[in-house]
Structure 1
Amino acid sequence: MKNIPFTIDQDYLLNQLQSLLTIPCPTGFTDQAVCYVCHELDKLKIDYSLTRRGTIIGNLVGKQQSPDRAVVTHLDTIGAMVREIKANGRLAITPVGHWSSRFAEGGRVSVFTDVGELRGTVLPIFAAGHVFNQEIDTQPVTWDHVEVRVDLEIHSQADALNHGIGVGDFVAFDPNSEVMENGYLVSRHLDNKAGTASLLAAIKAVKDYNIPVTIDCHPIFTLSEETGMGLGHALDCHVTECVGIDIGPIAEGQNAIERGVTIAMKDSSGPYDYYLTHHLIDLCCTNNIPHSRDVFRYYYSDAVSAINAGHDVRHGLITFGTDATHGYERTHLEALIHCARLIVHYIQSPPAIKTDAKAKPTTEEFTDQAASYPTNNAPPFN
């Protein structure tokens, strides 16, 4: 089947990213983001269903109904929660998701109480240079050494309680976003609002250009990837391939790129599926999508959560190279566009392995990695 030419709507992608970044949604506090994405899918005339907790399962009807494939991103972000109201009225917090308090210091936040939203700042315990002098530089970097100063007349635990603050209140960090003229995007929470914007832009291209969907494809938006659950409950028995979209950490010793797609070969859970991963690489080579391969040392994804939940699926991960992950993150608009391009090409591609439609292939049908997988030999992007 010959692919239909298309372009990704860059303005739409960027507008979606900027809109998503304004929505506070640490894991466990994601309903507003769910409602926003549902509204966008309605505008795109995409059929979808909701689980009782709010995972969105879209449906792009294919020429063939089984096997199915899923393309997944997550709506939740890192954040925090009030764990203690101190005697002086300051709030001790515990992280939601895995990240360092180093990146929390100085953050402007919203505290979502049972009676409304309050504003504040996360500060180190020793914050006044005119009082603590060098102790500011020597205090440890831990969550026990930061606190939230709420912007109200609060000087005691009783004051905080009177304003409706309680243990367990969610704390969401402002994104502090900036879109540079050179295409760089700097913000908290690009993980994974940038991936979500890429998926929405890919879906829009499928609709705008009437892209043929080879097999039923389910765009899925999950709620708890940052805490390790993610996609585990959201796949039905017909899905045989699951591709995640997420950040690709850029640092010394990594091979991720900021202006193309980075295909994950392995993360801390183990290798990604050989055939599906090489299918994605082949799509990059065939369609001139700049790309790289990488291995992520301390990493977890929605695709992995499906495997850990016991689903017998092939799993893969495409990423946009991101500097300072789980901190003040930076990626490039080109990376998001190329991720969206790859998603569209994937949606109109055949299954990675034809026999995956069978739950139990014969030994004659089973594949041999060393001998049978054809791949385009074009060099990766550097």
Structure 2
Amino acid sequence: MIDLDYLHNRLRELLRTPSPVGMTDRAVALVDGWLRELGLEPRYTRRGVLYVELGEGAPRRAVAAHLDTLGAMVTELKDNGRLSLRNTGTWAARFAEGARVTIFSDAITHRGTILPLKASGHRFNTDVDTQPADWDNLEIRIDAELHSREDLVAAGFNVGDMVAVDAQPERVGGFVVSRHLDDKAGCAVILAALKSIVEGGQLPEIPCQVMFTIAEEIGIGGTHGFGPEVEELVAIDNAVSAPNQASRDDSATIAMRDRQGPFDAAVTRHLLSLCEEHGIPHVRDTFRHYRSDSAAAVEAGWDLRVGLACFSLDSSHGWERTHEKSLLALARLVVAYLQSPLAVKR
């Protein structure tokens, strides 16, 4: 049984905790505490990936979701008292315009807004509409009396300061609308699945490793940290809700392929059969411009069978939205998967 309130609460707290790629410690600490509350023992790789192991013996399967989100970094202290920035992770500048942000300098945090260089309609008129949506055309206006580069230096700003974009989460009926659902919703799904397994008292017969990676948005989240006996990996991430896509708000999505190519046939069909066996609403989909921790693991040379199971997500890497029906279906699938035999029996 999946505790939907628990899932929502964990997701809300994660969304309120800044974790742009390169600065994930706060979110990792949250999840560490929650895992301990469930009676699990958090462990870490040298790079800081958080994981737990369930079952007796060396893990033979893994599931992974990523705690890092899209963000930005300060690239210049400007003479007008504002900051130039550059994205970390792949996201469009048009979705950055107007975002409220926190800038993390060495000793203090500051609040601000990302604005285009021509932001005043009363000054620039229609030029506001015709200027390019480009990272070189953006700056951060800081909510402080700072009018020059010297003011910025005196206030403690530096090139390389991390910029976290406000998630602005909102729950509307069954929908969750927020930035950074990719992949904090996946992390909340895994936490809810772990709670169900622990409270049900049925630990997996196949020992497993549950991972919370911290650099998926720059392509290296799933490149390391798997136990030497792990044979298969299922990444938990977002589907693509868009024209010409099959993903639905009321279902889990089993990805058949991403831009790298087809996922492992045995793992994919195993996930599909679990959905059928347990009555889990699901669809199949293919993704053209997409990679996940599964792709990173394969590209890093791990000898793993990999798959991808997803929650619905509209406007990914932008103003995102998912639905609790999809989150619930995916959580049920994670439980079923962790308690099932391996996709390929030796």
Q: Which TM bucket (shorter chain)? A: over 0.9
Structure 2 residue corresponding to 1:271, chosen from 249, 254, 262: 262
Partner of 1:202: 193
Task: State the alpha-carbon separation in 2 of the partners of residues 120 and 47 from structure 1.
Answer: 38
Partner of 2:336: 345
The answer to whether the 8 Å contact 2:59/2:208 transfers is no
Structure 2 residue corresponding to 1:35, chosen from 25, 29, 33: 29
Partner of 1:15: 9
What percent of counterpart residues are identical?
47
The yes-or-no answer on 1:133 pairing with 2:125 is yes
Partner of 1:304: 295
Q: Could you tell me how far 1:66 is from its partner in structure 2? A: 5.8
Partner of 2:165: 173
Q: Could you tell me how far 1:256 is from its partner in structure 2? A: 1.0
1:255-280 CA-to-partner distances (Å, cap 9, x unmatched) read: 11111100111111111111001100
The yes-or-no answer on 1:241 pairing with 2:241 is no
Task: State the alpha-carbon separation in 1 of the partners of residues 213 and 301 from structure 2.
Answer: 17
Corresponding letter in the other structure for 1:108: R
1:114-137 CA-to-partner distances (Å, cap 9, x unmatched) read: 111000000011000000001000
Corresponding letter in the other structure for 1:269: Q
Corresponding letter in the other structure for 1:140: P
Q: How many residues align structurally? A: 346
TM-score, L = length of structure 1 = 0.89
Unaligned runs of 5+ in 1: 1-6, 356-382
The answer to whether the 8 Å contact 2:72/2:88 transfers is yes
Partner of 2:40: 46
1:153-199 CA-to-partner distances (Å, cap 9, x unmatched) read: 1111111111111100000000111011x200000000011000000
Task: State the alpha-carbon separation in 2 of the partners of residues 291 and 334 from structure 1.
Answer: 11
Task: State the alpha-carbon separation in 2 of the partners of residues 273 and 238 from structure 1.
Answer: 18
Structure 1 residue corresponding to 2:138, chosen from 146, 158, 161: 146
Task: State the alpha-carbon separation in 2 of the partners of residues 331 and 98 from structure 1.
Answer: 20
The answer to whether the 8 Å contact 1:66/1:215 transfers is no
1:29-79 CA-to-partner distances (Å, cap 9, x unmatched) read: 0011111111001000112311233201210014xx466100100000000
Task: State the alpha-carbon separation in 1 of the partners of residues 33 and 148 from structure 2.
Answer: 42
For 1:327-346, what aligned pairs fall within 5 Å after superposition? 327-346=318-337
Structure 1 residue corresponding to 2:108, chosen from 113, 116, 125: 116
The yes-or-no answer on 1:314 pairing with 2:308 is no
The yes-or-no answer on 1:72 pairing with 2:64 is yes
**Change beyond 3 A, Cα 1:336–1:82:** same
The answer to whether the 8 Å contact 1:56/1:221 transfers is yes
The answer to whether the 8 Å contact 2:58/2:227 transfers is no
Query: Which 4+ runs in 1 deviate beyond 6 A?
Result: none
Q: 1:203 is paired with a residue of what secondary structure?
A: helix
Corresponding letter in the other structure for 1:50: Y
Q: 1:323 is paired with a residue of what secondary structure?
A: coil
Corresponding letter in the other structure for 1:20: L
Task: State the alpha-carbon separation in 2 of the partners of residues 67 and 329 from structure 1.
Answer: 34
1:225-265 CA-to-partner distances (Å, cap 9, x unmatched) read: 00000111111220001000001011101111111100111
Corresponding letter in the other structure for 1:121: T
TM-score, L = length of structure 2 = 0.98
Task: State the alpha-carbon separation in 2 of the partners of residues 265 and 100 from structure 1.
Answer: 26
Corresponding letter in the other structure for 1:46: L
Task: State the alpha-carbon separation in 2 of the partners of residues 71 and 305 from structure 1.
Answer: 13
Unaligned runs of 5+ in 2: none
The answer to whether the 8 Å contact 1:205/1:211 transfers is no
For 1:152-163, what aligned pairs fall within 5 Å after superposition? 152-163=144-155
CA RMSD for the aligned pairs?
0.9
Task: State the alpha-carbon separation in 1 of the partners of residues 161 and 143 from structure 2.
Answer: 16
The answer to whether the 8 Å contact 2:59/2:209 transfers is no
Q: 2:20 is paired with a residue of what secondary structure?
A: coil
The yes-or-no answer on 1:93 pairing with 2:85 is yes
The answer to whether the 8 Å contact 1:47/1:60 transfers is no
Task: State the alpha-carbon separation in 1 of the partners of residues 153 and 308 from structure 2.
Answer: 45
Partner of 2:184: 193
Partner of 1:294: 285
Q: 2:8 is paired with a residue of what secondary structure?
A: helix
